[in-house]
Amino acid sequence: MKKPFALTVAATALVLVYLIPVYWMVATSLKEPADVFNVPPDIIPTPATVQAYLDTVFSDPAIWRGLRSSTIITIPTLVLTLVIGAPAAYGLAKYRYRVTGGVLFLLLAAQMLPTISLALPMFAIFSQYGLVDTYAGLIIANVSVTLPFAVVLLRPYMGAIPGDLLEAARLDGCTAFGAFRRVGLPLVRPGLVMVATLTFVMTWGEFVFGLTLATSDDKQPITVVLNRFIASFGTQWTNLMAVSTVIAIPIIVVFIVLQKHVVAGLTEGGLKD
Amino acid sequence: MTTTRVAAATKTSPGKPPRAGRKRKRSRSLGTYLFILPAALFVVATTVYPLLYNVNLGFYDAPIQKFLRGTVEWVGLSQYQEALGDPKTWVSLGTSLVYTLATIALMLTVGTAFAILFTKTFPGNKLLRSLLFLPYILPSVVAANVWRWMLDGTSGLVNYLLTTVRIIPEPVFWLGSPTFALPAVILATAWTMVPFAMLLIIAGLQNIPRATYEAAELDGAGRWSTFWRITVPLLRPVLSVVALLGFIYTFKTFDTIFIMTRGGPGDATTVLPILAYNEAFVNFDLGSGATVNTLLLVIPMVLAIIYFRSTRKEG
């Protein structure tokens, strides 16, 4: 209580130091290629230029295709995760099934699997069904990761829906599903927003499935395209950092808008189940 | 509107004949399985089935060409025996453990320090706290590339800062050095995970009653002894959850290391997920990759069971 201002100064300094990598990414992306090697380094890009963005995102078709693929993969993944996940979370919170314990264990265990452990057999299975190098395959793979996560995080929210309201809806003639959809879902909107945000964050940044299941340049998400370009960007740090910044921007924007929900949800989800 | 509905509910329910009520309940409970059925089927099809498939695939000699032609050969346990007898596997397991445990150590210490600072009241606390969360949600591809640049041997910012303040006499080629590559990827991984740890530890700290601290102060306990005798013991359950989740998330890390070092130099940063990837997608041997993959699954599965049991007990 004596020195809140001193604490603010200390915390600000700490956060600034901790976020140096993020600043350095943006700063590098705004430099002239030659200035990148200056000693001592220019802390503030002088002169600042958006040339790296013009050269990559706006002129390189591969980067465009990568961003497009990421979008085509992310949106259906988000929708499927919510459409399948929300009812499951509701069911697991509101009904006692004989299989509840088993299903919950399955969902928790699924979250702990290394992505590569799924990607490897999926590659083998998908190649038999013509799903390798298709958006459908990539979407299925991504949902396999986001769905368990979504159900586990949503369950506490669903559990908190007052049973009386649901019962009343049933007596007013709603089916079990109708009660869930009309009464339950609107009440858990914050939870849905949180899960949607995290699903977006996870899928947009996904790398392993893209690397293993998308074999052609055309289908690869931007994360993989970026990685493929490391060789040619080897010394072009400005370009590499420009694309990295572009990949990070949607995440940062979504997070700034919705961070309240996300932080609350993650705390809940991490500490309870 | 809510209250009238609830009132209606209590009014009508006793009027129903008990038999019909029971019958309706039974049919309802069958119908309610529809809530979880799609998700359960999906998880079985995309997680359980691939994992069983993977274990089975490990019994086959299946280079990609043979696999695609459908001419794989059953070789029984030989690939598993080979993997278990191969020093490469054990070296990777060791690297995985060092990588994971060091990252957890950083998560716990730095995460706790941050959490203690941010449970104090000061202007700007919330804003700064959420800014600090940014590294956790940044795509790992982005974080890994930024660190690759920061740790660059000739023009990296880390070398510049460390040589300027004379912590190191000359620039280090972090990612090209067999000694420093592993610490470098540990640093980058911990950077992304510390905010998550901080978040959970803050929640834990807020659950410690103020009265406990006030009592300690009355007893004349200093800061250190309060920290070690009150904060740490009362925080233990949260710290063990953080450690367990940290283990699970770090043990499975692939992207950060793949992008920063590809597992090199040599095998200095080849953790088990990288080894499984190399077998399957670099050496194009699906069977042998599946074998390593099965071994890689054992540890997370054991931890999943521990985690599941511990959360069950609390609930």
Most B CBs within 10 Å, among A22, A67, A116, to test the B interface:
A116
Query: Which whole number is the average pLDDT over B14-39?
Result: 62
- The ipTM assigned to this model is 0.90
Lowest mean pLDDT among A238-252, B9-23, B239-253: B9-23
User: Pseudo-torsion of CA A230, A235, A238, A244, nearest 10°?
Assistant: 20
Look at residue B29 in the predicted model and tell me its pLDDT: 63
Which residues 25-64 in chain A show a CB within 8 A of chain B? 25, 28, 36-37, 39-41
Rounded Cα distance, A245 and A251, in Å: 10
Contact by Cβ (8 Å): A215, A229: no
Q: What is the pLDDT confidence band of residue B313, given thresholds at 50, 70 and 90?
A: low
Mutate to test the interface with B, among A16, A117, A260 (most CBs of B within 10 A): A117
Give the CA angle between residues A30, A255, A236 to the nearest 5°: 25
Query: pLDDT tens across A34-67, in order?
Result: 898 888 888 899 889 999 999 888 888 999 999 9
Region B172-188: mean pLDDT is: 95
At B59-84, the pLDDT tens digits run 988 888 888 888 888 888 888 888 88
Helical packing angle, A4-18 and B125-132, nearest 10°? 20
Query: B74: helix, coil or strand?
Result: strand
* Record: contact A123-B280, CB cut-off 8 A: yes
Mutate which: B16, B140, B142, B163, vs A, most A CBs within 10 A = B142
Q: Which residues contact A20 (CB under 8 A, 6 or more apart)?
A: B150, B157
CB spacing of B137 vs A201 below 8 angstroms: yes
* Residue pairs spanning A and B at CB distance below 8 A: 309
Closest CA of chain B from A76, distance in Å: 15
Residue B1 banded pLDDT, cuts 50, 70, 90: very low
Banded pLDDT at B13 (limits 50, 70, 90) = very low
Lowest mean per-residue pLDDT among A236-240, B178-182, B186-190 = A236-240
Of B172, B193, B196, the C-alpha closest to B184 is B172
What percent of chain A clears pLDDT 90, i.e. is strictly above it?
Answer: 56
Does the distance separating the beta carbons of A241 and B146 come in below 8 Å?
yes
Contacts of B6 in chain A (CB under 8 A): 164-165, 168
Q: What is the DSSP letter of B285?
A: B
Each residue of A158-170: pLDDT tens digit?
Answer: 999 998 999 899 8
Q: Which two tokens stand for residue B198?
A: 């901080």
- B271 and B212 Cβ atoms separated by less than 8 Å: no
Cα of B99 to nearest chain A Cα, Å: 15
pLDDT 10s digits, B126-140: 889 888 989 998 999
Judging contacts by C-beta atoms under 8 Å, the chain B residues touching residue A24 are 146, 149-150, 157
| One-letter identity of residue B151 | L
Task: Give B179 or A38, the one with higher predicted confidence.
Answer: B179
Taking CB atoms and an 8 Å limit, are B9 and A164 in contact across chains?
A: yes
